[in-house]
Structure 1
């Protein structure tokens, strides 16, 4: 049985963690959480529709209903943003079969990083990430296309996931992730949001607690990584933690206009 002396410090720690979680949530709502949606809906989309000029976005795909925007952070980071109003990973729209396969589209757009870099970029340097509902600052779905952290790259190089596509537990950056392999064809065939909901039943009802990331393994397969928010472990479900927006794995030599 716990004594009062032991219970008091434990209660204090839990209180601090709860307060930290509430502060994070408050910060989430304090910022202009519609900034990305305003850029896309008021500038990029109308500009493409009426004059063929998607600025300030780099491009707008009217058929697949998404825009690509250069993020202010980092020399090579881009964001894929739907031109439909979709809040984030928790949105039921992402489970609809007619919704564009945003992760596959974002991976296809990695050519933008090479163009901005001014020379080819190894796919093993790159990654995609989307954060959980309270691990983000924007309430318009956006997928980060950026570089992978060097230490995460090393961890993935040591990873030997099964070829069956089964999920397994892996620790990355001190957080527990569920990971599974994908072929590029499988990525294009089915949305990772639908795959997560179908293959991890506990995630279907609480999708907002999950962040997702994607990278390439040494053998050319892709690895899908899912992190679940856990306030007690100071884990906001931010899969973006696996990315390095300064791109230490490559040295930018040229910036495109």
Structure 2
């Protein structure tokens, strides 16, 4: 074997090792207006809905759209048809503000259809991330399944969840949550108004994340559990209630691992 061949082989090996040890190329920055752009592209106009937009309700008191999220097979997003940045928007607290959570709860039928099996009320969930725990600047409510471990915790703490806001006795996903029980088949009360009048009464609603989970059964004692957590940036908690959801819906599908995500 020639010396020149050994030298060239060694040089090639060094190049390969350098490539393996080099840092991966940085990901392109997330466009925070991507969802708003999607609404304008696919949910507005004479031929809407089209593309990624599944439905548009432009009736007064609603004005919302539904799109299929690209993260997970069963996740959908309910968004205002109008420009609403997020949970911190003062317009959400007016008497005329649409109850976007009520519309999102109705949209759980899409998750059930995608699953191809019944979606128990207690597994269905809605999540709205805080201003610190989201990547998009258009209000969007995640419609999907609860994580199996979170569902088990809520069932175990059921007696501690009352019709008054109070901290749960155990953290969820390592974070403190306050809980409130609502009765009824439909989500007639606006959860954002209840949050603003309760744990977030001191102001700065943008620091809060809100999750709504079903409780009971549709045919027996139906209701809801509202879960709210506040961002603590010094502790690294950005208040993304979406952490309680599983976009693989392992509790029903038997998926090996839960699929999380923040958008």
TM-score, normalised via structure 2 length: 0.78
Aligned CA distance change for structure 1 residues 118 and 230 (closer, same or farther; 3 Å): same
CA RMSD in angstroms comes to 1.8
Post-superposition offset of 1:195? 1.2
**Structure 1 residues 185, 122: closer, same or farther in 2, change over 3 A?**
closer
1:51 CA displacement: 2.5
Out of 135, 138, 150, the residue aligned to residue 137 of structure 1 is: 135
The counterpart of 2:229, out of the listed 227, 230, 236, is 227
| Alpha-carbon distance in 2 for matches of 1:31, 1:143 | 19
Deviations 1:162-181 (A, max 9, x none): 67511111121111011110
Q: CA deviation at 1:45?
A: 2.2
**Structure 1 residue 62 and structure 2 residue 61: aligned?**
no
Question: Which position in structure 2 is the counterpart of 1:117?
Answer: 115
CA contact (8 A) 2:121 2:215 kept: no
CA–CA separation in structure 2 for the residues paired with 1:168 and 1:186: 23
Partner SS for 1:86: coil
CA distance in 2, matches of 1:37, 1:71: 13
| Structure showing greater relative contact order (alpha-carbon pairs closer than 8 Å, 6 or more residues apart) | 1
Look at both structures and tell me which one has the larger radius of gyration over its CA atoms. Answer: 2
Write the distance in 1 (CA, Å) between the matches of 2:103 and 2:48. Answer: 20
Structure (1/2) with the larger helix percentage: 1
* Deviation of the 1:201 alpha carbon: 4.9
Task: State the Cα deviation string for residues 81-124 of structure 1 (Å, max 9, x = none).
Answer: 11010000000010011111001110011111122222322122
Aligned-residue offset at 1:52: 4.9
Are 1:88 and 2:86 an aligned pair?
Answer: yes
Q: Which residue of 1 is the match for residue 242 of structure 2?
A: 240
8 Å CA contact retained: 2:105, 2:187: no
**CA–CA separation in structure 2 for the residues paired with 1:144 and 1:122:** 17
- Residues 179-211 of structure 1: per-residue CA shift (max 9 Å, x gap): 1101236731x31111111123545x2100000
- Identify the residue that residue 199 of structure 1 maps to in structure 2: 198
Structure 1 unaligned segments of length 5 or more: list them.
1-29, 253-257
Q: Aligned pair count?
A: 218
Which of 76, 80, 105 is residue 78 of structure 1 equivalent to?
76
Q: CA deviation at 1:57?
A: 1.1
Question: Partners in 2 of 1:83 and 1:226 — Cα distance?
Answer: 25
SS of match in other structure, 1:58:
strand
- When residues 161 and 208 of structure 1 are mapped into structure 2, their CA distance, relative to the original with a 3 A threshold, is farther
Deviation at 1:248, TM superposition (A): 0.2
Shifted more, 190-199 versus 83-92: the winner is 190-199
